[in-house]
Amino acid sequence: MLISELAELTGVSTRALRHYEDRGLLVPARNSSGYRNYAESDVTRVAQIRTMISAGLGTSAIRRYLDCARSGEHGTTLEMCPDLRAELAALARRLDARQAELRAAQRRLSELTSGGTPPAGSGSAGR
């Protein structure tokens, strides 16, 4: 199938598909005219890539672990290995830290909108 057909089937832009190819995540064949020719299995591959991106993995990590992705009736899962487990744990820690930063910013915003910030040294400004 051509790139436009894969884009339509997967709901992913042709630009994103070309990016996945540039990053080594998709490797389409080329026909005699030089057009990309995608296989039916690339539909599943794009779904796996999108799932991994939505979980916070970057394309370099996806390239390393895409062969660990499995698709089934419950969506995409990853076969765990020690390196992948460590990378996912590090990502989870970064997400936890970012969530804490966002909660603190939201508290500060709430304090600002409810009549001002607490006096310096009151202890609630940095939480």
Total domains in the chain come to 2
Domain that holds residue 4: 1-79
- Asked which of 42, 58, 79 is the last residue of a domain, the reply is 79
- Rounded (10°) angle between helices 14-22 and 3-10: 110
Residues 98 and 64 occupy one common structural domain: no
Question: Are 62 and 111 in the same domain?
Answer: no
Q: What gap in Å lies between CA 126 and CA 120, rounded to an integer?
A: 10
Asked if pLDDT for residue 74 goes beyond 80, the answer is no
Q: State yes or no: pLDDT of 124 exceeds 80.
A: no
- pLDDT mean over 69-82: 78
Are 9 and 52 within one domain? yes
- The CATH number of residue 38's host domain is 1.10.1660.10
Q: What is the mean pLDDT of residues 21-42?
A: 94
The stretches of 1-127 forming alpha helices (DSSP H) are 3-10, 14-22, 41-54, 59-65, 82-113
For the residues 104-113, what does the mean pLDDT come to? 93
On whether both 55 and 6 belong to a single domain, the answer is yes
* Shared-domain flag, residues 93 and 71: no
> What is the reported pTM?
0.70
